[in-house]
Amino acid sequence: MKLIKKEEAKIFKNSSACTAIEYPLGDSAINGAVIELNGRYPDKGRAVNELCKELFYVIKGSGKVEVDSREFEISEGDMGLINPGEKFFWEGNMTLMMPCVPAWSRVQYKEAE
């Protein structure tokens, strides 16, 4: 069992609209973050994760996620899975719980058009 207390979390401001609260598990197989979104992320274009699957659960709020040119309206209680290689962007005002398998890293994350 590994427990990460709230005060151990690391806060990253990914953009003016997106803040990630990462919980350092130290496990290469899985990690997780809470995402606070107020606007669009990325600011323009799309992002792609080359290696990890991103599971998301909408804790509160609503918005949309566009994945490979398909738009999905999402709101509190919804869950989805973004697979490696799928291009996406988020837009809305929401809080998301986002575990990633294998663990998310900046090296495998790219911005794309």
pLDDT category, 56, cuts 50, 70, 90?
A: very high
pLDDT in tens, 13-51: 999 999 999 999 999 999 999 999 999 999 999 999 999
Q: At 6, phi and psi to the nearest 5? A: -50, -40
Residue 87 has pLDDT above 90, yes or no: yes
- Whether the CB-CB separation of 53 and 81 falls below 8 Å is answered with yes
Residue 93 has pLDDT above 80, yes or no: yes
The CATH T-level fold of domain 6-104 is Jelly Rolls (2.60.120)
What's the pTM value of the predicted model, to 2 decimals?
0.94
CA distances from residue 65 to 2, 11, 29, 61, 80 in whole angstroms, order as listed: 31, 22, 25, 13, 10
pLDDT category, 109, cuts 50, 70, 90?
A: confident
Alpha helix stretches (DSSP H) within the chain: none
Q: At 33, phi and psi to the nearest 5? A: -150, 160
pLDDT in tens, 70-83: 999 999 999 999 99
Across the chain, mean pLDDT equals 95
Proportion of the chain above pLDDT 70, given as a percent: 100
**109 Cβ contact partners less than 8 Å away, ≥ 6 residues apart:** 47, 48, 49, 50
